Amino acid sequence: MTGPPVSNDPVARARMMLQAGQWAAARFRAYDHGSVRNIVAGVARAGHEHATALAKATVEETGYGVAEDKATKNRIASLGIAEHYDGDDFVTPRVDAQHRIVEVPKPAGVIFALIPSTNPVSTLYFKVILALMTRNAVVVSPHPGARQVCMDACALLRDAALQAGAPRGTIQIVDEPSIPLIEALMGDPHTNVILATGGTGVVRAAYQSGTPAIGVGPGNAPVMVDRTADAAAAAKDLVDSKAFDNSLLCSAESVLIADAEIAKRLTAELTRAGAHICAPEETERLRSYLFPDGHLNLEAVGQSAATVARSAGIRTSTRTRLLVTPLALVIPEEPLASEKMCPVLGLNIQPDPGAAIRAARAVLRVAGAGHSAAIHSNDPDVVIAFSEALDVLRVVVNAPNSTGVAGFDTNVAPTMTVGTGFTGRSSLGENLEPRHLVNWSRVAYNKNEAIAFPDFEALRPWERIFKPQGIPHVEETTDASQELREQIRQLVLEELRDLVGSR
């Protein structure tokens, strides 16, 4: 009796994809820096050229966000990322003659990249390009709510990579995502690392899979404005930040803590910048609409301030870009003190900077530990006191937090994946960078200088070691049947190895 078709078995499908990825990664590992750089450049250009079209398609498919803002993210996550790291080399061995050490790069292998529905294309661009920079293969798993646009984006990058000389199988996508298939891919020993971006459940599942995983924690960023701040500049940054892509970035400010001495000026400037300061009854309507059962109403996610206000029964001006809800207390029992993935900002007024810092700490006790916070201040003592007191790994000063944390408006590493460190229960305490996807073997010579240390810079041994005979460098066959036969051959060989190893 024959079994069910392989295509209907999620475990078998996962194994086939990972075998193709392992085969591609093994070939990719033989590429030099110049070839890798060409591939990255070609993929980044393709992504950049289609940034606007895919942004529009994302909004149409998911119903979230602002197409213009998504296009900005897509451009930064493609050509912007490639240009930022263009001077870095994650491929060539490094020689430290002074310390008598040679560092040899070891790519992860096959990366399993989970993609959220809130920022699908920019996250896909980002993870694929980082994988290519470090000579890794990548299997993309889209959120079902953004499946088609991810399919289109992945095909675009895959074709550009092949055109530039990448091995076939370097970029793949799960075309019909399902829980059994995702679990099989995450738990398979041929998956080398998981990049988990999404809800808490997704990240926890990645960590529990037994495969090394790089996950992130949720945001709930407090922002403090003290008495020394430029009220007009702070207000503009706050409105721009919360309105950007309708507050879908997890780094968007959640609760504004204002020093009482500047509160009146600040609220006036917020109104001028396009915010609507809610009256008590309007705040109650928003609370009921956004958290009808204690959990965020998903219908509000990624919607404009006007749409949220209308749904909550609040009348606003046509120029309103942000809804501000005054809060008497910042406590876990106040739902408006938690993350709101729409242009709604809590406002809590405190009598002095010390009290404001304590209130900001209280916001993080609700959620968002390890993630980020922002402060608008011209007093360096207050900035440092705020930064020291809060359990976050990024503090943005006098800039929009949503884009500042991602490196758009600051000089931190540009990213679409923000690690929250030990406090936020994340394995990563930084913005995800290419260096996190490659290990380095340290070849350490005896520190006794009487023992020779070769001149590796002159020898360049990797010119022969990293381009072994019999492995094509950039040439690729276009014969689909030959490709399929090779994948099947690799699968059979692996199954035989498993069988022999089990005896």
State the Cα–Cα distance between residues 84 and 66, nearest whole angstrom.
Answer: 25
Same domain, 336 and 392: yes
Is residue 237 assigned to a domain? yes
pLDDT on residue 471: 39
Q: What is the DSSP letter of 414?
A: P
Same domain, 362 and 342: yes
Question: DSSP string covering 274-318, please?
Answer: TEEEPPHHHHHHHHHHH-TTSS--GGGTT--HHHHHHHHT----T
Q: What CATH number did the domain enclosing 246 receive?
A: 3.40.309.10
Same domain, 212 and 253: no
pLDDT top residue among 472 and 388: 388
- The tokens for 58 are 């994302």
Residue 414 backbone phi and psi in degrees, to 5: -65, 135
Is residue 501 assigned to a domain? no
pLDDT top residue among 3 and 95: 95
Question: Annotated catalytic residue: which of 150, 154, 250, 278?
Answer: 250
Question: DSSP string covering 262-276, please?
Answer: HHHHHHHHHHHHTEE
* Single-letter amino acid code for the residue at 350: Q
Is the pLDDT at 1 greater than 60, yes or no? no
Same domain, 446 and 475: yes
User: What average pLDDT does range 433-460 have in this prediction?
Assistant: 91
Is the pLDDT at 371 greater than 80, yes or no? yes
State the Cα–Cα distance between residues 241 and 430, nearest whole angstrom.
Answer: 21
198-257, pLDDT tens digit by residue? 777 778 888 888 899 998 888 999 999 999 999 999 999 999 999 999 999 999 999 999
- The tokens for 234 are 């702070």
User: Considering the chain, what percentage of its residues have pLDDT values greater than 90?
Assistant: 80
Same domain, 178 and 230: no
pLDDT on residue 13: 83
State the Cα–Cα distance between residues 491 and 2, nearest whole angstrom.
Answer: 19
- Domain ranges, residue 354: 221-405
pLDDT on residue 383: 98
* Single-letter amino acid code for the residue at 437: L
Is 250 a known active-site residue? yes
pLDDT on residue 400: 98
Q: What CATH number did the domain enclosing 129 receive?
A: 3.40.605.10
User: What average pLDDT does range 322-350 have in this prediction?
Assistant: 97
Is the pLDDT at 466 greater than 70, yes or no? no
Same domain, 258 and 331: yes
Same domain, 101 and 200: yes
State the Cα–Cα distance between residues 122 and 117, nearest whole angstrom.
Answer: 11
pLDDT on residue 490: 55
Strand, helix or coil for residue 231? helix
297-329, pLDDT tens digit by residue? 999 999 999 999 999 999 999 999 999 999 999
User: What average pLDDT does range 276-288 have in this prediction?
Assistant: 97
* Domain stops at, among 385, 405, 425: 405
Same domain, 377 and 302: yes
Kindly report the average pLDDT of the chain as a whole number.
90
pLDDT confidence tier of residue 485, bands split at 50, 70 and 90: low
pLDDT on residue 178: 86
pLDDT on residue 458: 72
- The tokens for 175 are 């075309």
pLDDT on residue 464: 53
42-90, pLDDT tens digit by residue? 999 999 999 999 999 999 999 999 999 999 999 999 999 999 999 999 9
119-128, pLDDT tens digit by residue? 999 999 999 9
pLDDT top residue among 87 and 466: 87
pLDDT on residue 474: 42
Is residue 398 assigned to a domain? yes
Same domain, 273 and 386: yes
101, burial (CB in 10 Å: exposed 0-12, middle 13-18, buried 19+): middle
128-173, pLDDT tens digit by residue? 999 999 999 999 999 999 999 999 999 999 999 999 999 999 999 9
Is the pLDDT at 457 greater than 80, yes or no? no
Is the pLDDT at 32 greater than 70, yes or no? yes
pLDDT top residue among 362 and 493: 362
Same domain, 319 and 462: no
376-431, pLDDT tens digit by residue? 999 999 999 999 999 999 999 999 999 999 999 999 999 999 999 999 888 899 99
Question: DSSP string covering 113-179, please?
Answer: EEE-SSSHHHHHHHHHHHHHHTT-EEEEEE-GGGHHHHHHHHHHHHHHHHHTTPPTTSEEE-SS--H
pLDDT on residue 372: 97
218-232, pLDDT tens digit by residue? 899 999 999 999 999
Is residue 503 assigned to a domain? no
pLDDT confidence tier of residue 503, bands split at 50, 70 and 90: very low
Report the 10 Å Cβ neighbour count for 475. Answer: 6
- Considering its fold, how many domains does the chain have in total? 2
* Domain stops at, among 362, 388, 405: 405
* Domain stops at, among 387, 405, 423: 405
Same domain, 51 and 183: yes
3-23, pLDDT tens digit by residue? 434 456 878 888 899 999 999
pLDDT on residue 177: 86
Is residue 438 assigned to a domain? yes
pLDDT top residue among 140 and 485: 140
pLDDT on residue 460: 63
Residues 6 or more apart in contact with residue 415 via CB below 8 angstroms: 126, 406, 407, 431, 432, 433
Is residue 488 assigned to a domain? yes
State the Cα–Cα distance between residues 53 and 44, nearest whole angstrom.
Answer: 15
* Single-letter amino acid code for the residue at 257: I
Same domain, 335 and 398: yes
Is residue 107 assigned to a domain? yes
Is the pLDDT at 96 greater than 90, yes or no? yes
Is residue 27 assigned to a domain? yes
